[in-house]
Structure 1
Amino acid sequence: MKVKGNKLLMLIGTAWLFDALDVALLSFIMPVIKQSWHLTAGELGAVSAVTSLGMMIGALVCGYLADKVGRKPVLIGTLLLFSVGNLLLTVTPSVGWFIAVRFITGIGLGGELPVAATIIADNFTGTKRSRMLVLVDSFWAFGWIIASLLSFLVMPKFGWRMTVLITALMGLYALLVRRHLPEEAPAERSNQRPFGAALRQVFSVEYRRATICLSVLWFVIMFAYYGMFLWLPSVLVLRGFSIVHGFGYTVLMSLAQLPGYYLAAWLMGKVPRKALLAVYLMGTMLSAAAFGLATSAMMILISGAWLSFFTLGAWGIMIAFTPGQFAVDARGMGMGFAQSIGRIGATIGPFLVGALMGAGIKIPGIFMVFVGALIVGILVLLFGLRDNDRH
């Protein structure tokens, strides 16, 4: 069944929307359950870490299954895990059950993005493929906006359980819509190798360099994004900027992502992808430095908006860059492995910020850690990766 580009964009965009919705909603829910269940800092950290652990496993396993059994059934399965997980979350009686359910939900969330990206990569080529992958990643911003609306309008009146129930029902609706995803040709699920052999394939001479460099880049981008953005409200409150708790600030940071995505999509085909990604990573680095050094509310808003613009734009370009480094029979595993390493960065980033703050390191010093990581990412990109685009 042939699905037109715009329709496929909308169908696959739900993967990024629900991932962002879940990440953002969890950041709003955590202070609420901390107070109602009297959680320690360690228990609250476990809630965040177990989600990242599930996402790491989900990216690797679902990427492999996408090559073995097909993209469509695996993508539908990931959304089913997300929806069922959130339904179960609404009835969790304690933090222990909450953590267990979050692990299951994380597997679905982590598996969605690499599989979704492979579907777009399989259905388009060249500049069209790159643009579609950046545009589909832009749905992340809409997920954050929806989470903000739910958190500021629904959660205060009806509680976090009802808010999570709404997201679960939204997931079930999207599950019905995904029946219209295109069926793969037999060639697109030709990799019947066992898991170990599939993993060895992406580390073969043909793919080793790309796999290692992409894994480092995904680690850096997720380390920086989750480390900075999950801690931004707490960091700014400590510095006396209560503005970050407002609905307007949250929506502004989400809206600032959209022009970053759309400019990157427009520049695809006009500027080499390596050069474009390098510019966005350098923009992220400079914005992080400016944010860490900001001393006024206006500077917080301006540098924070630029940080959103460049960080998420870089993520979108990475989504466009990664699948084309692998042929179709290794694409799911290659994408899944690289993103699973990225999820390790997503786990380390927030914990490192907390540890550095506990050790008395000042905010500018903490943000310089992210600047250093981004410099490593830029060097790996420029000297390690080739701008391949395999069909």
Structure 2
Amino acid sequence: MSSIANRLSNLPMGKFHWRLLIITMLGWTFDSMDTGIVAFVLAEMIGSWNLTTAQIGYISSIGLVGMASGAFLAGTMADYFGRKKLFAGTLLIYSIATGLCGIAWNYESLLVFRFLVGFGVGGQLPVAVTLVSEYSPAKHRGKMIVILESAWALGWLAASVIAYLVIPKYGWQIAFFIGAAPALMIFYLWRLVPESALYLVNKGKYDEAHALVAKIEQELGIPVGPAPTAAERSLKTQSISFIELWSAPYIKRTICLWILWFGMVYSYYGIFTWLPSLLVKSGHDLIRSFEFLLYMTLAQIPGYFVAAYLVDRLGRKPTLSGFLAACAGCAYMFGNAATSSDILLWGCLLSFFNLGAWGLLYTYTPEMYPTHARGTGVGSAAAFGRVGGILAPIVVGALFTGPDKFATIFAMFTAVLLIIALNVMVLGEETMNRSLEEINQETANK
């Protein structure tokens, strides 16, 4: 393990880590808010634009097409050009594109703008989680990433509040204009977000990486570690090709992650993108449906924190597979709920376990690849997962025309969630309390 990697892995948790976490959480919150706003807007636009169920499905899916493109390209570019540049650039893209959605003049223009929103959001998520993973101490990495992912609930909560208070009074366009606000923060974020020291080492910028880590150590009040040795400086810079993800050391991990991401994105976007419209079409009025979503969004927050507590104690595999199995059971009960109180109960539990599992997923994925391939590995898995998100709204739209549609749709999601829980148990590897470089050095030596 390089001296830089060793120093980062053994740092005590301190102000630097919390500052980095808060900054990236802001970006993550706005990602979620801009994604969530469209779910609420669609329920309103069904009437104002006379949209068909097929058109609603395509509006949802085009964002996922953008997210797949953004995740793959930004993740790969982050391994070549750095985490910081891609973090800032993707934030700017999705913020401006969300504002443009507010001036969409027809169905086709909205599709174009939603693609651009998806591109920015999909690009930022793997870059942000890679950056935070590479600065997280080994003993606290799971907690930090799950807390980062918890910002997704804050963004959906903000979208819920906007939908509840703004859309009924001022119209759906204002919601999109509010979603453009993150663009105003770009210069502030650029100044405070550091480049990844591990990325700098991989690019041969040893002095810059050493100076950066030394500054962190001084801030945390611990002795400054040694500069990289001549032997470390002589190591060749490593680059990544997509095919390496399928080479002998990583193929099992890549298969596990791609299945996991596909199922997670399929179930999440199939359920939550359609949920306001599903509730309206099942007999609940628009305001009541938004109220259900608000409570379900609040239930996500304790789900994240329970996952954050367990992930560095029980381990990645048992916590993630357990949350997925529990989520599957809640999806089945939600699909068969007969009363408003049952819908609220099982909907809140569904959100609790589903979003807790998302926090665990983002913890687990970057741990599977070495520094030179981490952005590409995370971005590729996320991009493949978005294929599931593209398909899910279309499948839900098709199933919504049949008998017992609500129960049938959620029986499907129950099966998907059980399959990916089994996938983690069979193909997954445990990575708790191990440094990123240690995990991948062991894999390379197999």
TM-score range, shorter chain: over 0.9
Q: Is the 8 A contact 2:331 2:413 kept in 1?
A: yes
Are the counterparts in 1 of residues 164 and 287 from structure 2 also a CA contact under 8 Å? no
Residue in structure 1 matched with residue 242 of structure 2 by the alignment: 199
Alpha-carbon distance between aligned partners in 1 of 2:162 and 2:391, rounded to the nearest angstrom: 28
Give the aligned partner of residue 132 of structure 1. 144
Q: Name the structure 1 match of 2:50.
A: 38
- 2:216 paired with 1:212: no
Question: 2:74 corresponds to which residue?
Answer: 62
In 2 relative to 1, CA 287–175 (structure 1 residues): closer, same or farther, beyond 3 Å? farther
Task: Indicate the residue corresponding to 2:322 in structure 1.
Answer: 279
Select the residue among 394, 405, 413 that pairs with 1:362: 405
- Structure 2 unmatched ranges of 5 or more: 1-13, 205-236, 438-446
Q: Distance in 1 between matches of 2:166 and 2:353?
A: 30
- Report whether the alignment pairs 1:154 with 2:202: no
Separation in 2, partners of 1:233, 1:366 = 14
Residue in 1 that maps onto 2:341: 298
Q: Name 2:430's counterpart in structure 1.
A: 387
**Aligned: 1:334 with 2:350:** no
Structure-2 change in CA distance of 1:91 and 1:248 (3 Å) = closer
Residue 127 (structure 1) shift: 2.9
1:259 to 269, 282, 302: 302
Name the CA shift for 1:163/1:238 in 2 (closer, same or farther; >3 Å): closer
1:134 & 1:175 partners in 2: Cα distance?
26
Segments ≥4 residues shifted beyond 6 Å: none
Match of 1:346 among 377, 389, 407: 389
Q: How many residues in Structure 1 have an aligned counterpart in Structure 2? A: 387
**TM-score normalised per structure 2:** 0.82
Amino acid at match of 1:133: I
Structure 2 counterpart of 1:27, from 23, 36, 39: 39
| Displacement of 1:94 | 1.8
Q: Which stretch of structure 1 is more off in the superposition, 50-59 or 167-176? A: 167-176
* Equivalent AA in structure 1 for residue 260 of structure 2: L
Letter of the 2:334 counterpart: F
In the TM superposition, what are the counterparts of 1:97-112 in structure 2 within 5 Å?
A: 97-112=109-124
> Contact conserved, 2:61 with 2:393, CA < 8 A, in 1?
no
Worse-superposed segment, 334-343 or 368-377:
368-377
Distance (Å, rounded) in 2 between the aligned partners of 1:41 and 1:60 = 29
Structure 2: how far apart are the matches of 1:273 and 1:208? 19
**The structure with more radius of gyration:** 2
- Amino acid in structure 2 at the alignment position of 1:340: A
Question: Which has the larger displacement, 22-31 or 316-325?
Answer: 22-31
Identify if the C-alpha distance between structure 1 residues 175 and 216 changes in structure 2 by more than 3 Å, giving closer, same or farther.
farther
Match of 2:201 among 161, 164, 187: 187
2:43 and 2:276 in contact (8 A); partners too:
no
1:173 Cα shift?
Answer: 2.1
CA deviations over 1:353-387 (Å, ceiling 9, x no partner)? 12112243532222111111112111211111112
Q: Deviation of residue 267 (structure 1)?
A: 1.5
Instruction: Kindly indicate whether the alpha-carbon contact (under 8 Å) linking 1:70 and 1:188 is maintained by their aligned counterparts in 2.
Output: no
Q: Who is 1:123 aligned against?
A: 135
Deviation at 1:260, TM superposition (A): 0.7
Counterparts of 2:304 and 2:43 in 1: how far apart (Å)? 30
CA distance in 2, matches of 1:98, 1:238: 23
Q: Go from structure 1 to structure 2 and tell me whether the alpha carbon gap of 1:192 and 1:100 turns closer, same or farther (over 3 Å shift).
A: farther
8 Å contact from structure 1 (residues 3, 182) kept in 2: no
1:92 shift after superposition: 2.4
Note the alpha carbon deviations across 1:296-335, whole angstroms, 9 max, x for none.
1111111111000000000101111111111111100000
Q: SS at 1:256's partner residue?
A: helix
Measure, in 1, the Cα distance between the counterparts of 2:282 and 2:106: 33
Give the unaligned 5+ runs of structure 1: none
Once residues 415 and 32 of structure 2 are traced to their aligned partners in structure 1, the CA distance between those partners, rounded to angstroms, is: 26
Normalised to the residue count of structure 1, the TM-score between the two structures is 0.93
1: CA distance between counterparts of 2:95 and 2:273?
Answer: 23
Q: Deviations over 1:211-269 (max 9, x none)?
A: 11101001111111111222333333444344873543222111100111101111132
How far apart are 1:187 and its partner, in Å? 1.9
Alpha-carbon contact 2:166-2:175 (below 8 Å) kept: yes
Tell me, what secondary structure is at the counterpart of 2:356? helix
Once the two structures are aligned, what percentage of the paired residues are identical?
35
Q: Deviations over 1:119-143 (max 9, x none)?
A: 0111013231111000000001110
Given that 1:90 and 1:162 are in contact with CA atoms closer than 8 Å, whether structure 2 keeps it comes out as yes
Cα 1:237–1:165 shift into 2, 3 Å: closer
1:261 and 1:115 map into 2 onto residues whose CA distance is: 20
Q: Partners in 2 of 1:364 and 1:31 — Cα distance?
A: 21
